[in-house]
Amino acid sequence: MDKQHRLLPLARAVGLSLITLAAAQPTLAYELYADDDTHLNADMLAVWGMFNSRKNYDGTPGGSTWREGFIKYGVSGDQGLGGNGTLYGTFNLVSSATWGDGDAAG
């Protein structure tokens, strides 16, 4: 395989990563309720990545290509305590996945 054909998948991966990075919002918060002393927000963070290794490190021949991602979602809020401070709280869940060959370490 010549050098140009080896660089084409890399160029595609870099281009797709840059487009995804430019289009992605790192975090999102949506205000569900708000008044003078109380705020309640819906929060979300989504991260995704593409990975490749030309060598497997678990002794199997060849390389590995895989994708990983997670989404963290939940609610956060604060409540004023009538001049005695503010109570802050948050509750989140996380979902994650890996697709493809799995990482190169096995």
11 located within any domain? no
Q: Is residue 81 part of a domain?
A: yes
- C-alpha distances (whole Å) from 72 to each of 8, 28, 29, 77 are 33, 10, 12, 16
Q: How many domains does the chain have?
A: 1
Q: Measured between alpha carbons, how far is residue 88 from residues 67, 76, 91, 96, 104 in Å? A: 35, 8, 11, 27, 42
Domain of residue 87, residue span:
26-100
Segments in the chain forming alpha helices (H): 3-23
pLDDT (tens digit, 0 to 9) for every residue of the chain, 106 residues total? 555 556 667 677 777 766 666 666 566 789 999 999 999 999 999 888 888 888 887 778 888 888 899 999 999 999 999 989 999 999 999 999 988 887 666 6
pTM over 0.85: no
72 within domain boundaries: yes
Is 42 within the bounds of a domain? yes
Location of structure tokens 């939940």: 74
